[in-house]
Chains A and B, each alone.
Chain A
Amino acid sequence: MDNTIQKTVHVLAQLAPSSGGSGASKSFQQLVRSIGEAKTKHEEDRIMKREAVILKEKLGSRDTNTRQMREYLIRLIYCEMLGVECSWGYIHAVKFTQSSNIADKRIGYLASSLLLHPNHELNMLLINSLQRDLRSSNMLEVSMALIIICRLIGEEMVPPLLPLVREKMHHPKELVRKKAILAMHHFYRCSSDSIGHLLEEFRQALSDPDPGVMDAAVVLLHDMIKGNPSAYKDLCPAFKSILSQIISRRLPQTFEYHSVPAPWIQIRILRILAILGTDDAKISEDVYDVIEATLGSAECTSNIGQAITYECIRTISSIYPKPSLIQKAANTISRFLVSSSNNWKYLGITALAALVLIEPKYALNHQMTVIECLDDPDETLKRKTLDLLYKMTNPSNVTVITEKLIAYLRKTTDEFIKTDLVSKITQLAERFAPDNSWFISTMNSVFELGGSLVRREVAHNLMRLIAEGTEDEDLDKELRGNAVSSYIALLSKPQELPDVLIKIICWVVGEYVYEVEDEYQVEDVLEKITGLLQLEFKDIRTYSWIINSIARLIALIGYVPEYLHSQLAVYLAWEDTDVQQRCSELFEFSEKLELMQAVLPLDSACEDLEIDASLSFLDSYVSEALVQGASPYKPPHMRVSQKASQSPKPQQRPSIKFEPYATPSRPIATSHVTSSSPSLARKELTDSLSSSSSVGGAEVTRDRESISDESKPHTQSTLKSGIQSKGNQKWSRTGYAKAAAPVIVDNISNRIDDVSESVRSSTSSIDDIKEPKAETAANATSIKGSSIEAVPQIPVEQAKKQQLASALFTGLSGPAQRPSKQRRGREERERGSSKLNTNANDDKGKTQETSQLIDLEGIDFSTTGTAPVAAPPSPPPPEEGRGGGGGGGSLFDQLQVLSNETHVHEDEASDTLLMKPSQGGGKPLTESSTSFNDDLIGLFDGSSSTSTSLTSGQPSLPPVSSLPSSFDTTTSLLPTPSPSSSPAPTLLAIMDAPLSSNTVKLPDALNNVTSVSGWNKKELVSDGHIRLSVTKLLHPDKLALVLTLSNQKQAPITSVNMSCTPPSNTKGLRWKDGEEEESEEDLSWTGDLEGFANGTLILSLVPKGPSIAMNLKGEILYTDNTKTQRRLFYDIALYPTDFMRPYVQTTPQFAEKWGSYSNEKKLSLKLDSIKTPDDLMKLVSSRFNFHEIQIIGLCGVFH
């Protein structure tokens, strides 16, 4: 203290104005003094804000000399450092870098580097002065420019400076050489390829005579090696020799720190060796001796020596292991651990944690020390010890270690440490739990103490564990009984529980309270659960869980207690629709308790559910609608041709678009229906179904026997063909499904995966209708984060340390024990679920899951690409029955087939769905039945038109006649079909080249033939794989049809057979070999189609007699890449005009036939008014519709 006062006096004396020199102004002294005297941050703020105002004024004034300016800039640095932004002053700092005085310049640079950042716009102004200073002959100027480059230069400013900096790498002064290499290091960090070509120079710098320059090169190469170790393996001998030179004290003495030579360089090289030696036995072999030597030379009592020793141990544990070295490292660790310095102990614990990963037995020798460190008052040491414990956990010591971790979790208040601990405990419990009841009680503590920090999947795993149990019935009973009892006990102080735990409690108690009926009155439990409604939750969906639990309990006791009505009434109008929904369901059911009990049977969470895949419960609707005159369902391909002639009826009602916009392009001839229609139609169906299925759900689904397989083929084909007709959108939802589906690997889903694909598709249709109500598990979005002291603290008895130690360190010496058999089943599940967790525990995973949901939603409404019918070998369907949380939620969960992982994201999913919760209570069917049929038709209309319009947006299919010049580039981007792959000679690989142009692919006779308007490459049919288009060409004496079949996908399709039957009044001919000859044979094209290839069939139709309505019917058979045979029908409407040609006649020809063209028409004319031939002509013209040509005398010529 005395020293400080003396010092202060000394400094103040120095600063007094009279002392001259570098004396600061009075106001600066005043400022520093007032900052120093400020007692609070608030006071400090006030001072700095006032200072900023003064500075703004002073910096703005013109008459400031350089000395004042220097001081102002330093004061500006103060302002920013203490939290007052002064961006108005930055420009002054930049200007000051131009000063001629080197000290002023340095202040300018210093202020710039502290005030600006690499992406600041003012940096541009620095480039000039930096370039000038780099060229300066004064090494100090060069040096400061290089320092500033390291601080302020962003990626885009590297090029103008790089050549100059490169020159400086060969500067005579080592100070400059060193900083130039460090500037290169900065460039490397800006953009790793900016200095790749200079590698050789950096290697040379490694052998620079100056140690400082060498060190800079080590810094740079360290970063480069971290990026790509394998490319620098050859540098190992160089590093090795540098390290051995350092430890043999070849460097000047000034590089020593506490008589250790260049310790930080040693540490850096050790790190590089660790990177180079990882998984490389040969390099490790080379460096063993130098590491050993370093370890030996560092053995001293100074801190820095121990830091090097520690680094050696880390290197030893990361390179290819050598037992004798590991033993040495272990010995050193023991020395650390017995040290009296906490710093060294800390080092020892950290090093031990690194070492136990390769050799667990070394922990054994230090058990007592570790236990002591656990009880050390030093927080950091304790935390590191917990980390060590986590790393050495095995099945035999997991209970003790978890206890320790939970005890620490209970004490700590640091959010970061809590999160870390929660995830550690969860991982340990999931990996090593000795039995299920231990797992449940451990997880309960974790939820209690850190509920908000737990990943929501963990809650699901817990509920699923309780629901599924093991194979052993008795054990399960006990397990559930225990769980329920412990949860009921927790209900005595519910206000302390986090949301997620409340949800788990509600679900478990609701499902399994009957297991403890001997101990508890269900009525009492119901009262307690109802009491939860009084609490406030962060996640409002928690109320859904509570209401759900209440419903289950009511079903169990068989009557509705009086108080419930008043308690629940408020939730009928709750802000959250899901809560409303459940509440109204509950009220409806309370009228019909028997039905309720049937819907909510005991112990049904794991039952598989059968689904009426064919929607046969809608049959009565359909027949009713048919009776009322609705038109029967037509598959989409039948409707395509119809729609071509009809003008589409646009859907007027606006709705949200669910489809991505098609890439803009000229549409193919088919007319667009407003693109909003599919989503609209979907919405309508959803609405009408949801109103019916809430009723139907109760009747149809619970009554399992009634759900038979007598699915109406009609309905099924509806779905199938609805699916088939889909265009393959670039952004196909099925693509998401493929990505997401394999994630769900679950034993339950295996049981159901024989459900056929089509069942799956229609199932999901039911499902997403149910979705809003089926809100069930895992709304663990925001959960109360309070820590609660609920589980009695496990006492740590100091006297039993020894015992504890032996418990902790069991299993470390021998091979890890296998978990008990009972656990194994769980472990396997865990593995499945952890696989899932890795996908689902971040936002990315979430999107994946969500999109999967959306996908399922889309499938049956035929807006996606390939349909499940044709889907490649299917991943296990994402179905899981009602396992765990999936079953917990809905009163209608019998309809649930989605996995509960999917439910995790119901929040998101339900946003995309339209709910009508108020209809849930069971309104009569008739309400929506009238509109139902129309909706269906609207739905499928919409879907097929979407497919056509969207296909036109295919990137691989540039629209006809657009940009012929881009043709080449398009083909080069696509896999070009090889001509040899065309089995039939007529296969013409024309990639959408305009037919009217002079392509050799068409027979000569058909070149320059005009096509029928509207029939140029008119699309006929398409599915996910192929697309058929036709062009009608008006050949002078016949109609030519060019049928182009294109494979829309990369995958080849095989055994294609495209055949057709011409109308009976025409003769069909096929062009062969592209020549003019016509050969009459069977009108078909067969062959295989490579990805994106085309096959073409050219026909000629010669009319035999006139007919008004003609149709060319055809069929395409092919096998897709999944070996599924598919069939598509098409028909081409032919009109009389297609066969009519202009009739050319010369006047002599006409005259020749004059007599044969006789026609007589009698007409009586009143000639009273006719006075002149002109009048007569007019009359005749108007009555006979003649055209007057000429009047010659008294003769009139008419046409």
Chain B
Amino acid sequence: MIKFVLLVNKQGQTRLSQYYEHTRIDERVNIEADIVRKCLARNEDQNELSILEFIHNVVETYDRFFDSVCELDIMFNIDKAHMILDEMIINGEITETNKDRVLAPVAVLDRAAGHK
């Protein structure tokens, strides 16, 4: 299973993180510091290429929601970014890759927030 997702910018600064297994905050900081090249933790038996493609899929989904996503989009809308990820990965498993379905609930919530 996927253990965590971490978005970092080109300077290696954390821009989003979700952990699917509880990790203490100090450990998180260490892990995030350690990971410079690796973006996704995987088991030995992972199909790495499929994970790589899934990351692409995530980025494509962000792209569609934010209209070609950039770092600042994520930073200002970190809540949306999290909600999109929450639809795509549950229990550390890839559970939704259909972009329409991922974005539908997030869009509804976005509108609900706007009407307030």
A-to-B contact residues, CB < 8 Å: 3-4, 7-8, 11, 15, 21-22, 24, 29, 32, 35-36, 38, 41, 44, 66-67, 70, 74, 77-78, 80-83, 85, 101-104, 106-107, 110, 113-114, 117-119, 140, 143, 147, 150, 175, 178-179, 182, 185-186, 189, 212, 215-216, 219, 254-255, 257-258, 262-264, 267, 303-304, 306-308, 310-311, 314, 343, 346-347
Beta-carbon contact of A219 and B52 below 8 Å: no
**Which residues does chain B contribute within 8 Å of A103, judged by CB atoms?**
109-110, 112-113, 116
Known contacts A83-B25, A215-B95, A106 near B109 by CB under 8 Å: yes
Contacts of A258 in B (CB 8 A): 53
Within 8 A of A (CB), among B43-78: 47-50, 52-54, 56-57, 68, 70-73, 75-76, 78
A523 to chain B, nearest CB (A): 52
A225 to B109, CA, bound (A): 36
A343 to chain B: which residues have CB within 8 Å? 49, 52
Structural contact, B97 and A255, CB atoms closer than 8 A: yes
- Interface pair A254/B99, CB less than 8 Å apart: yes
Q: Are B53 and A257 in touch, CB under 8 angstroms?
A: yes
**Pair B47/A185 contact, Cβ less than 8 Å:** no
Please tell me if the beta carbons of A110 and B82 are within 8 angstroms of each other in the complex: yes
Is B72 touching A85 in the complex (CB atoms < 8 A)?
no
| Cβ contacts under 8 Å, A104 to chain B | 113, 116
**A36 and B71 in contact, given A118-B22, A343-B49 (Cβ under 8 angstroms):** yes
Contact of B70 with A4 in the complex, beta carbons under 8 Å: yes
A306 and B49 contact, Cβ closer than 8 Å, known pairs A150-B90, A257-B57: yes
Asked if A264 contacts B94 (CB within 8 A), the reply is: yes
Q: Quick check: A107 and B57 within 8 Å, CB to CB?
A: no
Shortest distance from the beta carbon of B114 to any chain A beta carbon, whole Å = 5
- Closest B residue to A115 by beta carbon equals B25
- Report the separation of the CA atoms of residues A215 and B73 in the bound assembly, to the nearest whole angstrom: 31
Known: A182-B95, A257-B97. A311 touches B50 (CB 8 A): yes
Complex A-B, nearest 6 residue pairs according to Cβ-Cβ distance, in ascending order: A103-B113, A117-B22, A307-B50, A307-B49, A103-B112, A83-B29
- Give min CB distance, A8 to chain B, whole Å: 5
Whether the Cβ atoms of A85 and B25 lie closer than 8 Å is yes
A101 touches B57 (CB 8 A): no
Q: Which A residues touch B91, using CB under 8 A?
A: 150, 182, 185-186, 189, 219
With A8-B72, A101-B116 as known contacts, state yes or no: A179 contacts B49, CB within 8 Å: no
Contact call B28/A83, Cβ cutoff below 8 A: yes
Jot down 22 A-B pairs with beta carbons below 8 A, ordered by A: A3-B70, A7-B72, A32-B76, A41-B13, A41-B33, A66-B116, A80-B25, A81-B16, A85-B25, A102-B112, A104-B113, A110-B82, A178-B95, A212-B101, A219-B93, A257-B53, A263-B50, A304-B50, A307-B47, A310-B47, A314-B47, A343-B49
Complex Cα gap A175–B90 (Å)? 13
Shortest beta-carbon distance from A442 to chain B in Å:
27
Q: How far is the CB of B27 from chain A (nearest CB, A)?
A: 11
**Helix, strand, loop or mixed for chain A's interface?**
helix
B111 to chain A minimum Cβ distance, whole angstroms, is 9
Which residues of B have CB within 8 Å of A263? 50, 53, 97
Task: Indicate if the CB atoms of B98 and A255 lie closer than 8 Å.
Answer: yes
Q: Are B13 and A38 within 8 A (Cβ)?
A: yes
Q: Is the CB of B113 within 8 A of A175?
A: no
Asked if B78 contacts A78 (CB within 8 A), the reply is yes
How many B residues touch A, CB cutoff 8 Å? 52
Docked pose: A70 CA to B50 CA in angstroms: 36
Please give me the residue from chain B that is nearest to A12 by CB atom.
Answer: B72
Question: Which residue from chain B places its CB closest to the CB of A251 in the assembled complex?
Answer: B98
Rounded to whole Å, the gap between the CB of A690 and the closest CB of chain B is 49
* Closest Cβ neighbor of A45 among chain B residues: B29
Q: Which residues of A contact B104 (CB under 8 A)?
A: 175
* A110 cross-chain contacts in B, Cβ below 8 A: 79, 82-83, 86
A77 touches B49 (CB 8 A): no
Q: Which of B47, B52, B71, B82 has the most CB of A within 10 A?
A: B47
Max chain A C-beta neighbours (<10 A), residue from B49, B52, B95: B49
- Residues in B with CB closer than 8 Å to A106 are 79, 83, 109
- With A175-B105, A303-B49, A304-B50 known as contacts, the answer to whether A22 contacts B99 (CB < 8 A) is no
Query: Which residues on B sit within 8 Å (CB–CB) of A70?
Result: 113
User: Could you say which of B25, B68, B91, B101 has the most chain A C-beta atoms within 10 Å of its C-beta?
Assistant: B91
Q: Are B54 and A22 in contact (CB under 8 A)?
A: no
**Chain A residues within 8 Å of B78, by CB:** 74, 77-78
B73 near A7: Cβ-Cβ < 8 Å: yes
Q: Collect the chain A residues with CB atoms within 8 Å of residue B75's CB.
A: 32, 35-36
How far apart are the CA atoms of A189 and B92 in the complex, in Å? 11
Cα distance, A292 to B113, chains bound together (Å): 50
Shortest distance between the CB of B92 and any CB in chain A (Å): 9
User: Once bound together, how far apart are the Cα atoms of A77 and B85, in whole Å?
Assistant: 15
Q: What is the bound-complex CA distance between A347 and B100, given in angstroms?
A: 31
Contact of B76 among A24, A81, A307 (CB under 8 A): A24
Residues of B within 8 A of A15 (CB): 76
What residue of chain B has the Cβ atom nearest to residue A346's Cβ?
B48
Known: A11-B73, A32-B76, A264-B97. A82 touches B14 (CB 8 A): yes
Chain A proximity of B25: nearest CB distance (Å): 5
Contacts of B116 on A, CB cut-off 8 Å? 66-67, 101, 103-104
**Are A3 and B68 also in contact (CB < 8 A) when A82-B14, A264-B94, A303-B52 are?**
yes
| A41 proximity list for chain B (CB < 8 A) | 13, 33
B53 touches A304 (CB 8 A): yes
Known: A35-B75, A212-B96, A255-B97. A102 touches B109 (CB 8 A): yes
Contacting pair A22 B109 (CB below 8 A) = no
Least CB separation from B15: chain A residue = A81
Partner of A140, one of B47, B98, B108: B108
Cα–Cα distance between A29 and B76 once the two chains are bound (Å): 8
Q: How far is the CA of A114 from the CA of B20 in the complex (A)?
A: 10
Residue numbers in A under 8 Å from B57 (CB-CB):
257
User: How far apart are the CA atoms of A808 and B113 in the complex, in Å?
Assistant: 64
Residue contact B97 to A81, C-beta cutoff 8 Å: no
Complex CA gap A15/B73 in Å reads 11
Nearest CB to that of B30 among chain A residues? A83
Q: Contacts A67-B116, A175-B105, A303-B49 given; indicate if A114 touches B82 (C-beta within 8 A).
A: yes
User: Could you tell me if A81 and B17 are in contact, using CB atoms closer than 8 angstroms?
Assistant: yes
Contact assessment for B14 and A175 in the assembled complex, using a CB-CB cutoff below 8 Å: no
Roughly how many angstroms separate A314 CA and B92 CA in the complex, as a whole number? 22
Beyond the given A74-B78, A186-B90, A304-B50, could you list 17 further A-B residue pairs with CB under 8 A, ordered by the A residue number?
Answer: A4-B70, A11-B73, A66-B116, A70-B113, A77-B78, A78-B78, A103-B110, A104-B116, A106-B83, A110-B83, A175-B104, A175-B105, A182-B93, A255-B97, A262-B97, A304-B53, A307-B53
Q: List A contacts of B114 (CB < 8 A).
A: 21-22
> Are A267 and B76 closer than 8 Å at their CB atoms?
no
Q: Which chain A positions have C-beta within 8 A of B95?
A: 178, 182, 215-216, 219
Query: Which of chain A's residues have a CB closer than 8 A to the CB of B105?
Result: 140, 143, 175
Chain A contacts for B113, CB-based, 8 A: 22, 70, 101, 103-104
Across the interface, name the chain A residue whose C-beta is closest to B104.
Answer: A175
Contact assessment for B112 and A119 in the assembled complex, using a CB-CB cutoff below 8 Å: no
Cα distance A157–B73 in the bound complex, in angstroms: 37
Q: How far is the CB of A126 from chain B (nearest CB, A)?
A: 16
Q: Which residues of A contact B72 (CB under 8 A)?
A: 4, 7-8, 11, 32, 36
Nearest neighbor of B6 in chain A, beta-carbon distance: A81
* A residues less than 8 Å from B52 (CB atoms): 303, 307, 343
User: Which residues from chain B contact A304 at a C-beta distance below 8 Å?
Assistant: 49-50, 53
Tell me, rounded to whole Å, the shortest Cβ–Cβ distance linking A90 to chain B: 12
Least CB distance, A100 to chain B, in whole angstroms: 11
B50 touches A267 (CB 8 A): yes
Residues of B within 8 A of A107 (CB): 79
Which of A8, A66, A119, A264 has most B Cβ within 10 Å?
A264
In whole angstroms, how far apart are the Cα atoms of A81 and B82 in the complex? 12
Please indicate the chain A residues that have their CB under 8 angstroms from the CB of B48 in the complex: 346-347
Q: Find out whether the CB atom of A264 lies under 8 angstroms from the CB atom of B22.
A: no
Please give the distance in Å from A105's CB to the nearest CB on chain B.
9
CA of A107 to CA of B70 in the docked complex: distance in angstroms?
22
